[in-house]
Amino acid sequence: MNIIIVGCGKVGIKLASTLNRDSEDNITVIDTNRKKLEPVVNKYDVLGICGSGTSKETLEEAGIKDADLLIAVTGSDEINLLTCLFAKKLGMCKTIARVSTPQFSKEFHLIKDDLGLALAINPDRTAANEIARSIKFPSALQIDTFAKGRVEIVKFKIKEGSPLDNLMLSDLSQKLGCDVLVCGVERGEEAFIPSGNFILKENDYISVVATFENLNAFLKKLDIKSGKVRNTMIVGGGNTAYYLADALIKAGVSVKIIEKDAKRCEELIELLPKATIVNGDGTDNELLLEEELEGAGSFVSLTNIDEENILLSLFARSKTKGKVITKINRIAYDEVIDNLDLDTTIYPKNLTAEYIIRFVRAMKNSLGSNVETLHYILDEKAEALEFRIKDNAKYTGIPISQLNIRDNTIIACINRKGKVIIPKGQDVILADDTVIVVTINSGYDDFKDIFN
């Protein structure tokens, strides 16, 4: 595919680095700032053009007439939308725009066809949806959904004294009596796609695939809190807080937002009449305690300053047993932040890029790939891919134990007409199944790629 990325910020760089893994894609990056552009061109196999996405000459130099997809992810909604309009006038490609302003997102359907937009993604709403999913499983550090919501891959940490400590995976089903599959393990800097003789250890981060019901049963066996929280405290009243509060209130969760800007508080009172809005400085520890932080089922730090969010979450972790979620804008320090034991961290830039990459994979689906869903797991060291099995092939109808599957690759789940199967060695794959594969290898575009 010929892909043009307009905007060399955090999202643009993430897209360039990830899409660059596929050697079949020709990627061109456009930015008005040469200093931002040069490191990306030097590090990745991409073409860089210094210019504006709203310039006819720049788009033509980037090959807009032969492009399959243009992705506009600058920091300006207006520039992103205008770039997509110009792309439609100059070429025949599909376009994607990052649109942060709630008003634009709300009226997207009015301008979608005129601008040639295939997708408009709102980073704030995407982050809010991810946080809301995390609150559904308070013990989870990451949740990814497959099979149209029927299957979850949930990541959590093995705590001291857990029944999973020193447990061999082949004994998991017999000892706990739960229909789940451990599809990935992170231990220190290493990531594993474990086999049956893999032994779990305290402090491992494991990713488990299961249905919602089976996952709840599994967490109860481990004495891990799995029920939805009843109340949430949010510090910071920006767009992400609004989308999150709206979703939680609709789900029956009591919401309290602490925002220091009085004018924004007035807006939130009108937008969220069922929420409690507190005008105050959320970095004031005494205020948080007065507003009953210690009794909060979950705490979410959503200020625009990473350092504030980190300190707030560390303080909340010391005062409440509830779920603590931290928004982080800067991607570069993720390794340092992961070592702080903040509970769950949300990177809106990463989420935005991942959402766009899923769309790109879906486009490739129409061009020959049969990847239906893609998520990055195990701290982005592995991919979880959902394939549609279109025809009877040489691998259908054969027990999985007899298939010659590549190393570091596992068949994690089979969805057969709505019935979810956590596969054992004797299970088989049939035409029209959707199959979830987890792998450390990259570049799988077709299910047959998983075989030696």
Contact between 324 and 341 (Cβ < 8 Å): no
Residue 162 has pLDDT above 80, yes or no: yes
Contact between 31 and 80 (Cβ < 8 Å): no
And the tokens for 117?
């937009």
Contact between 426 and 395 (Cβ < 8 Å): no
pLDDT of amino acid 332:
61
Rounded mean pLDDT, 167-186: 90
Give me the sign of the Cα torsion angle 2, 7, 13, 15.
negative
| Count of positions (residues) in the chain | 452
- Note the pTM of the prediction, 2 decimals: 0.76
Q: Please state which of the four CATH numbers 3.40.50.720, 3.40.50.620, 3.40.640.10, 3.40.50.300 is assigned to the domain occupying 2-121.
A: 3.40.50.720
Residue 47 has pLDDT above 60, yes or no: yes
CA 221 to chain centre: 27
pLDDT of amino acid 369:
53
Measured in degrees and rounded to the nearest 5, phi and psi for residue 293 equal: -55, -40
Rounded mean pLDDT, 130-141: 82
Pairing outcome for strands 151-157 and 142-146 = antiparallel
The CATH class of 230-321 is alpha beta
As a whole number of angstroms, the distance between CA 290 and CA 287 comes to 5
Using one digit for the tens of pLDDT, what is the confidence trace for 322-353? 899 999 987 666 667 767 778 888 888 888 88
Q: Do domains 230-321 and 361-450 have the same CATH topology?
A: no
CATH number corresponding to 361-450: 3.30.70.1450
Q: What does the domain layout of the chain look like in residue ranges?
A: 2-121, 230-321, 361-450
